[in-house]
Each structure stands twice: as C-alpha cells, then as structure tokens.
Structure 1
C-alpha cells in the first residue's frame, strides 16, 4: 500500500511538472517582449534626456540662493535645464514659502520621497525579471529533462534531442532576459538617483533662502 501510494504521488507530481512546461514557455515569451520594450524605452530615454550639468546646477543654486522673492526664485527654476518633474517639485516648495520652516522642510522631504517612489515603480518590471527570468529558464531546463531521460532509457533519441533543445533554449533565453533586465534597471536607477540628488540640492538652497526672508 505504501509503495502504491508513493507511485501515485510520484505520478501526480510528474503530471504537474510536465503540465507546467507550456505556461513556463509562455511566460518566457512574455518576458522577452517586456524586456525588448523596456530596452527600447531605455534607448529612447537615453537619446532624449538631457540632464543638467554640474556647472549649470551650481549656477542655479547660486541664483536661487540670491533670489529676493518667491517669483524670482520660481523664474530661476523655470528657466533652468532641470526636467519638468524636478521643476514641479521645486516650484511647489517655493509656493509654500508662507508656512513654517519645519513644515516647509517636511513638505519638501515628502515631495521628494513621493517622486522617488514614483521613479522606483518605473523599474519594477525589470527588477522582477532580473529574478524571474533565470528562474523561468531553470524551470524550462528541468521540466523537459524528465521525458528526455525516459526517452533515453527506451532508446528514443529523437525525443531526447527535442527535450534537450527545449532545455537549452529556455536556459539561454531566461538568463538573457535576466541580464538585459538587470542592465536596464541599473542604468535607470543611476539616472533617477542623480536627478533626485539635484532636486535635493536645489531644494536645500530654496529652504535656506526662504528662511532668510
């Protein structure tokens, strides 16, 4: 009875394992499409983006620091080479010049933190694929090996060759998806981190200047 029960469970696991191959392959194909689109977005962003230089940032900080009123400060920010979302954050900080210094500092911190969260979400898909891609590739490797080894035992070389082909293809594809996704996430996070540092720098100059008024 114990042996029969074990054989039944083993057969069940075997059926479940083989039934997972099609969903795994489908997920790998979907992952490839997502990575290709994400890579295209990375290239497009790289071509179109023009981050403010360190020299221009230094000049902006000085101009903001020497602003005599909120309208002048907002004009300096608006005429800078910052990205639109950066200007929006800094303008909102300037618009709240009439509240207390502690509340204004807390507001600035919250605005920057919310923007950081938004930027992080832009890399969620590729962050997930960094881990999921190789896992799918490993599943696609192991699942066909069962039927392949069984075919080897019966001398069916054609089935074995087909199983090994699927195994190698899914492995290479899964690892490639993970590698490309890692590079996309890495570069985007570097860009966003640098942009947020620029915002924090100008925001600090804003807060100090407003406190002097």
Structure 2
C-alpha cells in the first residue's frame, strides 16, 4: 500500500472538491442567463407601461391635494389622478386615517412608505443584484475549474482534452460576464425609476398630510 503524504492528500481532496463544482457552476450560469433574458424583457415591458408625470402635472396634483375640501373630495382627486395604482392605495389609506392625531397619522404614513419601498424596490432589485454580483464570479470559476485537467492533459500530449477545457472556460466566462452586465444595466435603470417613484410618493403623501392637518 502506498501512503500518500498529507500535503498530497489535501491537494487531491481540494482537486476533487474543485472539479465537483463544475456542473453546479454551469447549471447556475444557465439559470442566470435565462433570468437575464426574461428580466430584460420585463424591463422593456415596464418601460412601455411606465407612468411619466410632468413637472406641471405633479405641481397641479399637489396643489389639488392640499386644497381639497373634505376627505371625500381628497379621495376623488387621488382616484382620478394619473399616478400608479400602488401609490393611490397608499394615499387612500392615509386619507382614511383622518380620525387619527397628526403624530399617529405621520407615523402611519411613514410606515406605509417604508413598506411600499420594500415591496417595490428591495424585492424587485434583489434577484437582479444577485446576478450582477455572482454572475461574473461564477464565470471566473467556470473558467478556472476545467483548466486544471486541461493543462494536465497537455502535459501528457492530449491536445483534444485541453481544447475542450478551453471551450468550456471561454463559454462560462462569456455567459457569466454577459449575465452580470445585463443585470447591472437593468439594476441601474430600475433603481432610477424606483427613486423617482419614491420621490413622487413622498411628495403626494406630504400633500395629503398637509390637507388633513387643515
């Protein structure tokens, strides 16, 4: 029986672990690539249906909310506005809290805004941010893992195995970086949209709160 030194045993174990990751890495890269394609399609769809509010319209809406006479008129203005339905829902909930004190109403409004930002922004961007960060990393892993056996095969004159390893390495690199790049672009665009969404919501909420104080 041949006794393997400790360092060689560790190296052999490390090699087994490294090679066993190749298939999971490729599977995740394929999932990321499919996700990036669907996410980009969703971005285009949202762009077509996106609500665009001009500065003049926002100014008119804010003054209308502040100067509305009574909760009933306030709610009618909210329902007839061009803002997102999710924003209308938040404003209507605040309008229905007219019986609360000013402090309680402001706390309730703040809670509604935070929940809306968490639902609309955090959850929507979470998966895209994961692909942005993990995609290139998996691409690098997919590059390095097959190169070990490929270089070992080159030492024994097996050029075919090396060529196959290089093909896998290049493919995983392209898919990983490509998925991460697409997800990064989607994340930047959506984050800008959501910041505008949140800013507008804050303006409208303040206008409703101002009205209810009168």
TM-score (norm 2): 0.96
CA distance in 1, matches of 2:27, 2:208: 51
1:122 is paired with a residue whose SS is helix
SS of residue paired to 1:18: helix
Unaligned runs of 5+ in 2: none
> Given that residues 129 and 178 in structure 1 are in contact (C-alpha distance below 8 angstroms), is that contact kept between their aligned partners in structure 2?
yes
| Residues 38-187 of structure 1 aligned to structure 2 (within 5 Å) | 38-119=39-120, 120-187=122-189
**Mean CA deviation greater in 44-53 or 81-90:** 44-53
CA distance in 2, matches of 1:15, 1:95: 63
The alignment status of 1:36 with 2:37, answered yes or no, reads: yes
Distance 1:8 1:174 in 2: 32
Q: Separation in 2 of the partners of 1:64 and 1:15?
A: 66
Determine the structure 2 residue equivalent to 1:8: 9
Please, what is the CA RMSD of the aligned residues? 1.3
| TM-aligned CA deviation for residue 3 of structure 1 | 6.5
Aligned partners of 1:30 and 1:203: how far apart in 2? Answer: 40
| Residue 18 (structure 2) aligns with | 17
Q: CA deviation at 1:50?
A: 2.0
How far apart are the structure 2 equivalents of 1:131 and 1:16?
23
CA drift at 1:48: 1.4
Cα distance in structure 2, aligned partners of 1:3 and 1:151: 22
Aligned mates of 2:94, 2:107 — CA distance in 1: 10
Deviates more, 1:121-130 or 1:2-11: 2-11
TM-score (norm 1): 0.96
Aligned length: 212
Cα deviation for residue 51 of structure 1 reads: 2.6
Q: CA deviation digits over 1:20-77, x for unaligned, max 9?
A: 1111101100111111111111111111122322211110001111111011111111
Distance in 2 of aligned mates of 1:101 and 1:166 = 63
Unaligned runs of 5+ in 1: none
What is the alpha-carbon distance in structure 2 between the residues aligned to residue 84 and residue 91 of structure 1?
10
